[in-house]
Amino acid sequence: MTPAPQISVVINNYNYGRFLATAIDSALAQRGVRAEIIVVDDGSTDRSAEVIRGYGSRITPIFQPNMGQAAAINAGVARSRAPLIAFLDADDWWSPDKLSRVLAAHAAAPRAGLIYHRLQPSFSDGKRAFAPIPRSLCSGEMARRLLRSGGLWPFPMTSSLTVTRVAWTMAGDIPDGFRISADAWITGIVPFLGPVVALPDALGAYRIHDNAWYRARDDRDMLMRRVAHWQETVRVTNLALTALRLRGQVRLRDHFDHQVAVARLGHPDAPGPLRLLGLGLRNPGEPNLARRLRRTLRALIHLRRDRAQLAEVVRPS
């Protein structure tokens, strides 16, 4: 009889057939752990199905119509069996000891609902792009921090996240609105349900390519998308907190990145530079004082530049 898995791996994929084998291979190459590998293809139109079928019985494949990242991850979790669930985006990959390190961390902190680690941003040729992310790490009880920061913290991305089945069941499936960036739901609600454990090492790679969210410099379209995303994240987080009968609500007025974005977009009710300065310097979403200062000054520089460019556009000729 095959022993039960210690950890379930859910890989979500949509049209990343050119990257998918690297992700699957890195999950299969994990050392010192019994893991089941579930690959959910969300209606890809490239060669993803061919790649997935090539692994035979070594993985559990799920093929579904295109419904978005949330639906793909939900389908993978529904099929999983282990008490821990680790997530991997199809364009990223892990180091061979990632899962064993996560298991050890959970054994040391069994009450934790979320375990994460840094990722190394990397180009497709394997070269490092910049320093591991997130720069700052947060461990322990997180509820008070998130209530004071509008839900903002140096949250990790999907491929570094592991949740307990207990926490997942309490939170419920990822809402359908998270067609992309489903990690925002996991990192937004699970820290209210139990302690967080942060591992300092980069135990995986975040691939830098032309994806939905990464840009070397934010443009107006990206800022608008992020504002809409933060607004939806706060809305559903508050609905979940109410449904779970947890005290407090997160507020966008406390969310430094949201307030900076609406100011840069020129919203009429956006805060001015002085309020942004105060909000940034007090921002509990960034625990490191030096980074908080740099982040605030950088935001104010971007705001000044955006306003200068706008003035150039509207100045009469």
Model confidence band, residue 203 (pLDDT cutoffs 50, 70, 90): very high
- pLDDT, tens digit, 9 for 90 and up, residues 234-265: 999 999 999 999 999 999 999 999 999 999 99
> In this model, does residue 314 exceed pLDDT 90?
no
47: left (phi over 0), alpha (psi -120 to 50) or beta: alpha
Q: How far apart are CA 317 and CA 310, in angstroms?
A: 14
Instruction: Tell me the domain boundaries of the chain.
Output: 7-207, 220-314
pLDDT of amino acid 109: 98
| CATH architecture of the region 7-207 | Alpha-Beta Complex (3.90)
Which residues pair with residue 140 across a beta bridge?
Answer: 196
> In this model, does residue 280 exceed pLDDT 70?
yes
Q: What is the pTM of this model?
A: 0.92
Longest dimension (CA), the chain: 80
Average pLDDT on 185-193 reads 96
